[in-house]
Chain A
Amino acid sequence: MGGMGSGFSVTSPVIVAAFTAALAHQALIIALMVAGSILAWVAGRQVGDVPARGSRRGPPGGHEPPARRLLRIGFGAMWVCDGALQAQPAMPAGLPTQVIAPAAATSPAWVRHLVAWGATVWSFHPIQAAAAAVWLQFGIGVWMLAAQRGWWSRAAGAASFAWGLLVWVFGEAFGGIFAPGLTWLFGAPGAALLYCAAGAAVALPRSAWTSPRAGRVILRLLGALLAGLAVLQAWPGRGFWEGTARGRPAGLAAMTQIMARTPQPAFLSALIGSFTSFEKTHGLAVNLIVVAGLSIIGLTMIAVPARPAWLRPALVLLILLCLADWVLVQDLGILGGLGTDPNSMIPWALVAIGGYLAVTRPARPVTQPAGPAEALVRPASLREAAAGARAAAVIMASRSPGIRGVLVMAALGMVLAGAVPLAAAAASGTASPIIATAIDGPGAELNGQAPAFRLTDQDGRPVGLASLRGKAVLLTFLDPVCTDQCPLIAPELRQADQLLGARARDVWLVAVVANPIYRQVAFTRAFDRQEGLTAVPNRLYLTGTLPQLQRVWHSYGVLVQVLPGGQMIAHSDVAYVIGPDGRLREQIGLDPGPGTASSQASFAAFLASAVRRGLGS
């Protein structure tokens, strides 16, 4: 009812069912793509004039450096895990409100604005976006795991970097680095930034791994980040030196207290609760350990990144700190609400170990002459890349696809299955009506004569329903002095009119006043001006005497209730589609929900499609 608020659940069965169906369809498409590719490959191998299997040389480009292998497999597995988390039923509707908005809440306005834009893009097509996130992350993960060497493997690293960057900006609001309260303990500078770093490392050419230099750069950057975060952690007045403030948990204790109360296994809750109690009474000691630990590790990595004897204890200390923080503060990253990744501690540890391995166990230089296989590994220019691709085709055709090849094909299929529908939806420019359907349910089909009425329009002219014959009518009931829902519905009507394009000429958008007191023509005009409806030529805002209005409300089943002073009128949020023949076609719930740009766009699409049905198109 207007003026009575609205409910919208992120676990709406409509959205969950659509999400599940989308995932199932796309999984089927991926399976078919992979099967088709395998068949084509095998057939091509049978038909083509290809060298025998035995002509294959050893691994192209030599063995994979241990550091790269760790980063590739570690972050590949992380992406797969993240893809699985993205498949949570609440993700399509919940990500913008429960993940993205809170991440940006305390950031500067420009960050909030940028992130809100991303959230709106997601919310315009929540099903396609959520499914795309699942398949893209699964796909990148499998791709990284399967592609061991060469150009395809480096491309997987680049994909990880690119997607990680998008997630870092739009999903993590730059990891909160522009917000107050930034701390390593809560995940700064954002897990996705570490995914980016790992992706960039995997995308490096093999030559970069043949000296300890890459490892030193990685360790120095990590060290700088840790040292900077240690300074922040030690900065006075940020609330981390005290366990409590004015008798209440402060800083870290406040955070862990919230985490301890989230749904999770009892032993974890008890563990975090105990740590909270300890932190409340020993806040200074805990922060001192954190500051000292981060400082020692950071300075060691900056100062002596080439001395394993110094690095090893620092690395062990970092892993211990990460482990403690992951369990006691970050609650494994996935238990404190709608988790999208296991948070930043595992990535920290992986990147640090990767840096250490790159310093201590660099790759051996490749001495064999570059054949087709080498060209596949290291294209230095576009021409070389083209040559590499031709060579790859020869090599691929020369081999059975093998499990890795099938997996890479599956990964590419996943990426395409996610990206293509999202790109197509985004290109359409029209929001999905799924949010509107989730809030109000699908329209109910009707088949009967629309009750007649005769009222007065916003210009004081008499208008009867009979005079509107020949065009479809979208009939709504709006209170002109309503402060929340009716002013949300009006722009939806305007947007729906725009979506109808040329067909809008065959439609009347008709609103009837739903307020027994503020019902004069002056109010309908004021409302039209307020909502910019004066520019919509096919709209009518009708009113009349109280008995006239009451007859219309009654005949269309609209409840209008005068509440005690100080409150707006309560009325049914309902709309009817009346066909050009004057017969009722559909009844639509019109609770506008949260009134966000995406929900309004969704409603506009919903209304436009209902009107098109009413027109018989």
Chain B
Amino acid sequence: MMARGIAAATSRALALGVAVILALTGCGTARPDSQAALPPPSMAVPLTTSLATGTARWAVVRVAASPSPFWEIVVQRPGQRSWSLVTPPGVADNGGVVVTSPGAESLTAAFRPSEDLKFTPLAVTRDAGASWSPGLLDGDLAAEPDAMAAAADGRLLALAPGGTVWLSAPGGIRWRTVARERPLKAMAGRACGLVRLTAVAFTPAGEPLLAGACARDRVAIFADRRGAWRPVGPMLPAELAGHQVEVLRMTAIGGRVLALLVAGAAHAVSVTAAWTGDGGDHWGISPPLPLRAAHVQSVALSASGAAGLVLTGGRAVVLDGPGTGWRWLPALPAGTVVLALGPAGEADALASRGARVTTWRLASGRGAWARVQALRVPPP
């Protein structure tokens, strides 16, 4: 009887244990919507962008007409009113395209690796996309719109996802490593708390610059001074003190280097522009633009040094250059993904929907967008 009682108690305990374990197992795995483990919102901007080189205007547009998105490069050639599709052939661009121009009608397009491709094919044009020649970066490229920069002498600077920076000889050949993220983190110190590198650029004099994100209120910009990297970032205005700062974009335009900075976190984010004409020794800072709940969708850069931001919510804002303030544009046409800024204050809005890219124009001083053109892109 005693043994039977023990056996009954054992089986009852076993049953209870199974029930509890089952309930806990199921309950523990049944909350996929938990927000607790989500990372903080990223400030990174997508690869969609536009840049003007004085004679040509270029734009990279993400097209989502097929199961996996792809990118198209369009150009407005000198003297032309319309845009042309000039995406280089021969390589898939589902991983994204990073473009950089040393000026005039030249452009280097880098095709970020996708699927099983592990290196970065390049395509270079010197005639506004009429013809392309191939190039190669034998490694991965960071998913940042300024992950590659071209110097006027043909050298290229490239940023890898892990923070390694490569520099090529003129012509995009003989790549060598010129910086790694870890030594830069050590050099930036706790005052910055370098999180990651986000952009590379050449100064108009051809000196390499690197930029990144600081966990604290410092601007992570580094210049190559006699073979050693030195921090050259600007001081932030007082109202942005105490915030983390990320260099969203950094590129050489209009004889200067323009850096777009994002400071703050969550819903208290501001954008500020900083310019330098001497490789980082002196900087000019724009007034901050509070974004509130909006996010930057894309950035347009003009040859005159202006910057235009497309924000979520169909709004756009332009900063015409040093010493000016942020200027809001009329509500954007539906589907606008990027602006393209013209030399005389005009702006084009490029809207992408399915396999169609529509361009709209806002003439200088006008209050409404006018439809200019619709481009059909061949879906893969």
Contact = CB atoms under 8 A, between A and B. Distances in A.
Interface of A: 3, 108, 177-182, 189, 213, 216-217, 220-221, 223-225, 227-229, 231-232, 235, 237-238, 298, 302, 481-484, 487-488, 515-518, 520, 522-523, 526, 529-530, 562-569
Interface in B6-37: 7-8, 11-12, 14-23, 25-27, 29-32
Interface stretch (B80-88, B261-269, B365-373): B80-88
B30 A481 contact: no
B121 interface: yes
Given A224-B18, A516-B90, A566 B70 contact: yes
A515 B90 contact: yes
Contact of A517 (B70, B86, B90): B90
5 contacts: A302-B19, A487-B116, A517-B90, A565-B73, A566-B87
A483 B20 contact: no
Interface of B: 4, 7-8, 11-12, 14-23, 25-27, 29-32, 63, 70-73, 85-95, 111, 113-119, 121, 132, 134, 136, 138, 377-378, 380
Nearest to B85: A565
Contacts of B90: 481, 515-518, 562, 568-569
Contacts, number: 154
B-side binding surface: helix, strand, loop or mixed? mixed
Which one of B19, B70, B377 has the greatest number of beta carbons of chain A within 10 Å?
B19
A565 B72 contact: yes
Contacts of A563: 89, 378, 380
A231 B70 CA distance: 47
Nearest to B15: A224
Contacts of A181: 30
Nearest to B117: A483
Contacts of A227: 19
Contacts of B92: 3, 481-483, 566-568
Given A177-B25, A228-B20, A564-B89, A530 B118 contact: yes
Given A216-B8, A530-B118, A564-B378, A178 B29 contact: yes
Given A482-B117, A483-B117, A225 B22 contact: yes
Contact of A221 (B15, B72, B119, B378): B15
Contact of B91 (A180, A302, A481): A481
A370 B93 CA distance: 80
A562 B377 CA distance: 16
A481 B32 contact: no
Contacts of A523: 121, 134, 136
Given A231-B23, A232-B23, A232-B26, 15 more contacts: A177-B25, A177-B26, A216-B11, A220-B14, A224-B15, A224-B22, A228-B21, A228-B22, A231-B22, A235-B30, A481-B91, A517-B91, A530-B117, A565-B86, A569-B90
A423 B202 CA distance: 63
Contacts of B119: 526, 530
Contacts of A487: 115-117
B136 A522 contact: yes
B233 to A, nearest CB: 35
Contacts of B115: 483-484, 487
B73 A231 contact: no
Given A516-B90, A517-B90, A522-B136, A220 B23 contact: no
A352 to B, nearest CB: 14
Which one of B63, B88, B134 has the greatest number of beta carbons of chain A within 10 Å?
B134
A17 B162 CA distance: 50
Nearest to B29: A180
Nearest to B86: A565
The 10 closest A-B pairs by CB, nearest first: A565-B87, A228-B22, A517-B90, A487-B116, A224-B15, A228-B19, A224-B18, A220-B15, A483-B115, A232-B26
B148 to A, nearest CB: 17
A183 to B, nearest CB: 8
Contacts of A566: 63, 70-72, 87, 92-93, 377, 380
B70 A221 contact: no
Nearest to A213: B7
A237 B380 contact: no
Contacts of A488: 116
Nearest to A212: B4
Contacts of A221: 11, 14-15, 18
Nearest to B378: A564
B359 to A, nearest CB: 18
Which one of B30, B70, B91, B93 has the greatest number of beta carbons of chain A within 10 Å?
B91
A3 B90 CA distance: 11
B30 A238 contact: yes
B116 A483 contact: yes
A526 B136 contact: yes
Contacts of A522: 136, 138
A562 B89 contact: yes
Given A178-B29, A224-B14, A302-B15, A517 B134 contact: yes
